[in-house]
Structure 1
Amino acid sequence: MHHPLITPRYGEALQWAVELHGDQLRPGKRVPYLSHVIAVSSLVWEDGGNEDQAIAGLLHDAIEDAGQSRASIAHRYGDAVADIVQHCTDPGKHDTDGQLATWFRWKTRYLAGLAHKPEASLLVTAADKAHNAQDHLLDARRDPAHWQHCRAGLEASAWYFQRLEQVLGQRLPGSRSVERLGQAVEGLIKLPDLHEVLPSGTDPMDWALAYERRLNQAIADQAQLQQGAAASGT
């Protein structure tokens, strides 16, 4: 018996995605946010995903950015889709203290959690991160001030996407989305902005990956300064 690859569920999910994200824009530009979730769903299909995974691609930001819950998604599309969306959700995305150290803490926790998530969810995560990384790269090539509008900045972003590629590449060998992510990382480390701060003779890939060590050292130095100032004031 023939089973269609796409059923009416997918069209219904696309319409719901329009309702959830229809008034949202991509960060820093006049592009409908819907373009991102459609792109992610498309990459999932191209990477061999099934309809549940492609629907989860459409809805992967529904919890983070559209006020939905795992339960509301499961009610419409079942536990399989709801689980994937929940696994794709970064609970620290909207932490509002604005500190790079906070961003780094959440991203480190998110990266560690990928080791324990099922491949069905990681296929959607890989598509999401690949599209985001390529979007950053293309925007940065066109707008010299792009990184000034990003919470993390170029060095932190290059580290994060490189670490994502490493972790996802181990879990999803042969993934087209992971390959796209890797191509974006290669582009990011070639950007002139990164080479302006790159020490002479340093491999840019190694420099990007060593961001974690540099940030931890900066945090430790700052804490030491604060302790010294507190001690001198007593």
Structure 2
Amino acid sequence: MSGRAPDPKPVLWHSFRVANNLYEDDQPEDVVIAGILHDALEDTKVSLELIRSAFGDKVANLVKTLTFDKSIPDKRLRYQEAYQRNLGGGQEALLIRTYDILDNSDYYQLAKSKEDYDFLLEKMKYFIDISSAVIGGTNGWKRLVAKYEFLVGI
């Protein structure tokens, strides 16, 4: 495990749910595999090189694109940089992130404080706004918007 605080959500099942959503969305096999592995660099000791040798360049590049840069100390700047990088990774990276956020949002009620909860909603809204031009018509994006609207009471 990483040096992060224990995650209250079941992490392994989270990765499978992200991948399952991608599969049900008729995404290519490489994208589904990247969905399973999207948190691997953050949550395990698996290296990018191991992912590349086992699954190829496309999967490795998607996983790298989806990994948060731990060297950015400010959490707001960290997610903004990551989501901008996801945008640069194209539709496939954005769809993986969409299903990642959608699944994570089922656990927002576990936030330790109202401030933490509001921060999670801020991240969600930021992603929705920057990704709309690329994936705005997709089922996953529409589901994400609906979930956001539910969570904020729109």
> How much does 1:48 deviate?
2.4
Task: Pick from 171, 178, 181 the counterpart of residue 134 of structure 2.
Answer: 171
Higher relative contact order (CA 8 A, sep 6+): 2
> How much does 1:116 deviate?
1.6
Distance 1:27 1:180 in 2: 24
Mean CA deviation greater in 152-161 or 40-49:
152-161
TM-score by length of 1: 0.58
> How much does 1:119 deviate?
1.8
Aligned residue number for residue 23 of structure 1: none
TM-score by length of 2: 0.85
**Which has the higher Rg, Structure 1 or Structure 2?**
1
Contact 2:31 2:96 in 1 (8 A): yes
> How much does 1:147 deviate?
2.4
Cα offsets for 1:73-119 (capped at 9, x unmatched) = 01101111111111111113x97x7xxxx211212222332332222
Task: Pick from 25, 42, 50 the counterpart of residue 47 of structure 1.
Answer: 25
Aligned residue number for residue 183 of structure 1: 146
Task: Pick from 4, 11, 31 the counterpart of residue 33 of structure 1.
Answer: 11
> How much does 1:45 deviate?
1.2
The answer to whether structure 1 residue 75 and structure 2 residue 39 are counterparts is: no
Distance 1:109 1:33 in 2: 23
Contact 2:68 2:82 in 1 (8 A): yes
The 5 A counterparts of 1:1-234 are: 27-28=7-8, 32-92=10-70, 102-136=74-108, 140=109, 146-148=110-112, 153-190=116-153
**One-letter amino acid of the structure 2 residue matched with residue 84 of structure 1:** L
Distance 2:24 2:132 in 1: 17
Identical amino acids, percent of aligned pairs: 23
Which ranges of structure 1 fall in alignment gaps of 5 or more residues? 1-19, 21-25, 141-145, 191-203, 205-234
Root-mean-square deviation (CA), in Å? 2.5
**One-letter amino acid of the structure 1 residue matched with residue 77 of structure 2:** R
> How much does 1:169 deviate?
2.1
Cα offsets for 1:166-185 (capped at 9, x unmatched) = 22222113222212211221
> How much does 1:149 deviate?
6.2
Distance 2:65 2:46 in 1: 14
Distance 1:134 1:175 in 2: 20
Which ranges of structure 2 fall in alignment gaps of 5 or more residues? none
Mean CA deviation greater in 50-59 or 114-123:
114-123
Distance 1:43 1:156 in 2: 25
Contact 1:123 1:172 in 2 (8 A): yes
Distance 1:160 1:125 in 2: 12
